[in-house]
Amino acid sequence: MSGPGWIEDFEGEWILTRVINDRLAGQVLHAEGVATLRRSEAGFVYDEEVRLHVPGQAPMRGTRRYLWRSAPGRIAIYFEDGRFFHNLTLGQPAPEDHHDCAPDSYDAAYDFANWPRWSVRWSVSGPRKSYEMRTDFSPR
């Protein structure tokens, strides 16, 4: 087994860096910040706060929240409003999953080869979207 085996392995604070290659806009965006996974009544809450750098603009603050729920052999990840997002399979060095949000398509590729450093790459396509987003996490 490589990488995390339990949802609890993610608990705590993570320093993150992100690169977004927006093919439609023809630009590359960068972000850095902190992600925190903390226990809640139903599992874990993932909170993220970043400073986003868009070429030609002043840096912006960005936030995200997801709900992580333990499930057999995986973590079920939900949007903050409770809608299902995708699964993160545990015990694999490079799990992948897909989220269909018609007309857009989201493909996730996790990399746990250097655990506890890890990353996730999202490839997103649709009529008005075409980007790749890579986020690297390291323990704080």
10-25, pLDDT tens digit by residue?
999 999 999 999 999 9
For CA atoms 63, 69, 75, 80, the dihedral sign is negative
Biggest CA-to-CA distance, the chain: 46
Q: Which domain holds residue 96?
A: 11-139
Residue 106 within any structural domain of the chain: yes
Residues 116, 5 contacting (CB under 8 angstroms): no
Residues 26, 6 contacting (CB under 8 angstroms): no
Burial of 84-110, coded b for 16+ CB within 10 Å and e otherwise, reads ebbbbebebeebebebeeeeeebbbeb
What local confidence, expressed as pLDDT, does residue 2 receive? 67
**Count of domains observed in the chain:** 1
What local confidence, expressed as pLDDT, does residue 27 receive? 97
Tens digits of residue pLDDT in 68-77: 999 999 999 9
Residue 76 within any structural domain of the chain: yes
Residue 4 within any structural domain of the chain: no
Residue 5 within any structural domain of the chain: no
pTM of the model: 0.94
Percent of the chain with pLDDT strictly greater than 70:
99
> Confidence class of residue 3 from pLDDT cuts 50, 70 and 90?
confident
Residue 39 within any structural domain of the chain: yes
User: What is the signed CA dihedral for 20, 136, 109, 64, rounded to 10 degrees?
Assistant: -70
Residue 3 within any structural domain of the chain: no
Residue 28 within any structural domain of the chain: yes
Residue 121 within any structural domain of the chain: yes
What are φ and ψ of residue 10, in 5° steps?
Answer: -95, -10
CATH number at 38 reads 2.40.128.20
pLDDT above 60 (res 139): yes
